[in-house]
Amino acid sequence: MNADLHCHSTVSDGLLAPAAVVRRAHGNGVELLALTDHDELGGLAEARAEAEQLGMKFLDGTEVSVSFGDDQTVHIVALGVDPANVPLVEGLAQVRGGRDSRAMRMAEELDKVGIHGAYAGSLKYAGNPALISRSHFARYIVELGHARDVKSVFDHWLAKGKPGYVSHPWATFEDAMGWILGAGGVAVIAHPGRYRLSKAELQQMFGVFKDLGGRGIEVISGAHSGEMIAEYANVARKYGFLASRASDFHGPGESYADLGKLPHLPDDLTPVWSEFF
Ligand code: AMP
Ligand code: MN
Ligand code: MN
Ligand code: MN
């Protein structure tokens, strides 16, 4: 099955509206899609309605921002959650609540290195202060002409250790897992190949995740090289994790992979969607 269980719409930092994401996925041959906006459930009703119209399978999802260890950020994808579950809805609202003040602090730091007006400029892209993310800052900095693409903005200004990076407390691992499992969802570690964690820290993170009821890992991710796919397939075998396939699409021309345009899972792994279909 062509499943793609991780992507973004304008309800977080994607470029396409929820229904447009679904139409593009369908056009690309996707048979099962999950929309997973950052700490948001607001696009799911629109996306699900469009998927039903097109006869495509759909899972309600979100990608929860979690703080781990010494100022590390880990993303946990929740699949098959009930979007009306009150603790989940309230928990995510609380996580989003910190974005606006963080954005103001980022803008202050960027101002010191000659990038002016970044709060207002980025807010123009985000639309809503509760959704403002580094991606919106990156688009504004490209607009100013300081960099040719979003990727180089991260490399110069927004990645950890760069001048516009501001550390921020996201959800705790315990809270995020409680909300996801309480809402009937399956929790999946997003893009494990992207974290700047040592091998030992990664293993520790997988252990904590599993102890808290985590079930899945993105073996195939738009951000993964062939080597990473082999490495995280082995992690799935070792921990007994279900395997996910995930583009992490944000928009045309702005992502590692387009919707559904990904390698297939290794044959011996159990797909995470076998929990649902
Ligand atoms: P935030 O949640 O505001 O910290 O923003 C994180 C988002 O920035 C991620 O979800 C990605 O969409 C994007 N991002 C993070 N690192 C990079 C990178 N190196 N290149 C491009 N986009 C990135
Ligand atoms: Mn994003
Ligand atoms: Mn992510
Ligand atoms: Mn994502």
Tens of pLDDT along 83-119?
Answer: 999 999 999 999 999 999 999 999 999 999 999 999 9
The reply to whether ligand 1 has any atom less than 6 angstroms from the CB of 75 is: no
The protein residue with its alpha carbon nearest to ligand 1, atom 11, reads 135
CB 260 within 8 A of CB 28: yes
Same domain, 75 and 204: yes
Same domain, 271 and 180: yes
Tens of pLDDT along 23-60?
Answer: 999 999 999 999 999 999 999 999 999 999 999 999 99
The reply to whether ligand 1 has any atom less than 6 angstroms from the CB of 250 is: yes
Helix, strand, coil shares, percent, the chain, to 5: 45, 15, 40
**pLDDT for res 154:** 97
Structural domain boundaries enclosing 71: 3-97+169-275
Q: How confident is the model at residue 20 (pLDDT cuts 50, 70, 90)?
A: very high
Final residue in a domain of this structure, among 118, 133, 158:
158
pTM, whole model, 2 decimals?
0.98
Mean pLDDT score of the chain? 97
The reply to whether ligand 1 has any atom less than 6 angstroms from the CB of 209 is: no
Same domain, 39 and 88: yes
In whole angstroms, what is the distance from residue 254 CA to residue 244 CA?
Answer: 22
CA 76 – ligand 4 centroid, Å: 9
CATH number of the domain at 185, please.
Answer: 3.20.20.140
The protein residue with its alpha carbon nearest to ligand 1, atom 9, reads 135
The reply to whether ligand 1 has any atom less than 6 angstroms from the CB of 36 is: no
Same domain, 179 and 72: yes
Tens of pLDDT along 190-245?
Answer: 999 999 999 999 999 999 999 999 999 999 999 999 999 999 999 999 999 999 99
The reply to whether ligand 1 has any atom less than 6 angstroms from the CB of 150 is: yes
**pLDDT for res 229:** 98
Same domain, 17 and 59: yes
**pLDDT for res 76:** 99
Angle (CA) 272 275 202, round 5°: 35
**pLDDT for res 151:** 95
Mean pLDDT confidence for 62-68: 98
Same domain, 45 and 180: yes
What phi, psi does 26 have (nearest 5°)? -60, -45
131: in domain: yes
The protein residue with its alpha carbon nearest to ligand 1, atom 20, reads 151
**pLDDT for res 168:** 94
Tens of pLDDT along 132-175?
Answer: 999 999 999 999 999 999 999 999 999 999 999 999 999 999 99
For the chain, what is the domain count? 2
164: in domain: no
Same domain, 187 and 78: yes
Q: How confident is the model at residue 266 (pLDDT cuts 50, 70, 90)?
A: very high
Ligand 1 probe mutation, 38, 105, 134, most atoms within 8 A of CB:
134
The per-residue b/e assignment along 69-80, b for 16 or more CB within 10 angstroms, e otherwise, is: eeeebbbbbbbb
Q: Which amino acid is at 44?
A: L
